[in-house]
Structure formats: C-alpha cells, structure tokens
Amino acid sequence: MVRPRLTIYVCQESLQLREQQQQQQQQQQKHEDGDSNGTFFVYHAIYLEELTAVELTEKIAQLFSISPCQISQIYKQGPTGIHVLISDEMIQNFQEEACFILDTMKAETNDSYHIILK
C-alpha cells in the first residue's frame, strides 16, 4: 500500500447546513451566549498521491458518487471570498491535514458542477 503524500479533510456543505448556519448566526445575535444545539459536521478524508488537480477532481467525484467529467472546475475560496482556480501547484502547497467545506454550484451551461473549497 502506497502512503499518501497529502491528506485533506472535506465536509460537504448542503442547503440544510447553510440554513443551520444562518439560524445559528441569527440566534447568536439574539443570545450573546451562542448556540448549543449539538450540531456537528462529518468530514471525509481524501488521500492524494500525485498532488494534481485531476486526482483531486477524481477523488471529489468519487465522494459525491458522480463522474469526474461532471465537475467543471474546482476553486479555493481565497482572500475576501474570491474564487481561485485550483492548480497542481496550489495542491502541492496545501498544508497536511487541511480541512475544507465543499460547496457545490450547478454550472449554467450543462449538467456539471463547480466545487468551491472553503
């Protein structure tokens, strides 16, 4: 068994998760003590050996149970919320065991998706 060169952890963001986050923000504004409803997030490990954008695309597609060709682009959310296109060099500079929330957006032109690592 080949030891991965990089391990990252990802959590799939969903509409339900967004709604929970919005509700929590609203509750925190009402109650300075914050929210203690016990919400937790499940992360999945992605093991990368080649450190390429193609490999990351294949692993994310596998996680979502879709074909890699259904992923149009993968972006990383950068400073001030900008979307930076993922490249091999960017992946090679990810920190070991970095955690990301995956946000999906439907592409306008076809049945593919854009993935955003937050």
**pLDDT tens readout for residues 89-108:** 999 999 999 999 999 988 88
pLDDT of res. 109: 80
Query: 113 vs 27, which has greater pLDDT?
Result: 113
Q: Taking 70 as the threshold, does the pLDDT of residue 24 lie above it?
A: no
Q: For residues 19 and 23, give the distance between their C-alpha atoms in angstroms, rounded to a whole number.
A: 6
Angle at 19 between CA 13 and CA 25, to 5 degrees: 105
**pLDDT tens readout for residues 57-75:** 999 999 989 999 999 999 9
pTM: 0.79
Q: Taking 60 as the threshold, does the pLDDT of residue 51 lie above it?
A: yes
Cα dist from 86 to 39, 79, 91, whole Å: 30, 14, 7
Contact 71, 57 (CB under 8 A): yes
For the chain, list the domains and their CATH numbers. 6-21+42-117 (3.10.20)
